[in-house]
Amino acid sequence: MEILNRKLVKPCIPTPPNLKTFKLSFIDEILPLMEVGVLLFYPSNPNPIHLEQSLSKVLPSFYPLAGRFNLKDQIVDCSDQGAEFVEAEAPDTELATLLTERDHQNLDAFLPREKKQVELPTYPILSIQATRLKCGGLVVGVSISHKIFDASALSTFLLNWSNTITSNPETEAAVTFDGATLFPNRSQSSASSSAAIRFLDLERISVKRFSFSKEAIAALKQLNQRVSRVNLVCALIAKALIALDGAKHGRSRGCLITQAVNMRGRTDPPLSKTACGNFVLLSLAHCSAGEIQQVADLLGEVVSRSVSECGGILRMDEDRRNETVVGPLRTAGRTFMSGEDNVLTFTDYSKFGFYGVDLGWGKPVWASIAPHTIANTVVVMGSGDVDGFEAWVHLEKKDMELFERDQQIATLCAI
């Protein structure tokens, strides 16, 4: 990997004075200091697009991304300092080689910055790295602060950037930044909410891809027809991780499974699907060792309950609304801190449309995640196989070795 250029790209139109201060919402405030991101892999294109020019054009609609944090005051100074844009090349790397990669450690170089740089006050909120490959292909790595955007909002940004390049205004949707209005910031310290999250040094954590083909999904559906395909994948992985935890501790412990539920499109009054910010409600499932179909049923039930809560959350008074959001986070934190039960975290990126992001190279042939530094985390993505899924599993290295030996995991990922 060779870095050719590193620059700041500013919005093509200055941010108006009335938008210079962007307030964080209550949900933004309580999130830990971390990033959300994706890697998009494109085949060779003889007519490359100048990405930085199109980035400058889309930034006025996403003006906070060109600003800088003021965490003391829980705001973003929308000063148009710019998003970071990195040009790189990997002259010895072929796209075909990357598409078979299972270990994210070998993909980290395609991301624009190191995790330790995430929330430095002078550091860009949005960073993008475009890397040319030996075959002429391209890898675009995008990292964005989770204090500003969740994965759904990241997808909205990328799809709008894509529309800017492909000149497809019919598919563009107006973006909104109503988080601080709907969930007013209370200027509480975010330290208390993030202290319970288990951040690890990247050298201690292993992040690997486990692929489930449409045949593997069909085999899982035979076990349980009632729940979604994503919940079946999560239930399979949860079952294996619960068994692994029992083997490590020499006894069966309780387990708390958390799943992020997207509020967009589920509230009354409706919250736009292109609303930018963090609009996530945490669902909690308490379970112990069980068969896949039982775990899947439980996950389906608690998610359905959280979706129902989303329906009325905007009609609640402010105190109750905020408690609905922070209550599950507090429970998860206390459970982890007690050490009595295992805590697993699941997130579903599969519906966010990353495979539709055309940046002038056509649509990506593969979309991957930017890894987290939180143990026992699983992120589910779509795959090149339209009916398949990929699960990026984050574990301590010694646990990953045991997880890969699970018979059902090995069998289904080999189908």
Residues annotated catalytic, as ranges: 146, 358
Q: What is the DSSP letter of 28?
A: H
Write out the DSSP string of 274-338. TB-S--EEEEEEEE-S--HHHHHHHHHHHHHHHHHHHHHHTTS-HHHHHHHHHHHHHHHHHHHHH
Dihedrals phi, psi of 265, to nearest 5 degrees: 75, 5
91 CB-near residues (< 8 Å, 6+ apart): 2, 134
Strands 255-262, 342-348: pairing is parallel
Q: How far is CA 171 from the centre of its chain?
A: 23
3-class secondary structure, 269: coil
Cα–Cα distance measured from residue 157 to residue 61, given in angstroms and rounded to the nearest whole number: 9
Do the beta carbons of residue 88 and residue 2 sit within 8 Å? yes
The CA distance from 316 to 2, in Å, is: 52
Q: What is the residue type of 113?
A: R
CB atoms within 10 A of CB 252: 14
Q: Tell me if 128 sits within 8 A of 112, measured CB to CB.
A: yes
From the list 272, 78, 81, 268, the residue with the least C-alpha distance to 179 is 272
88 DSSP assignment: E
Report the candidate in 28, 3, 278, 201 with the shortest Cα–Cα distance to residue 113: 3
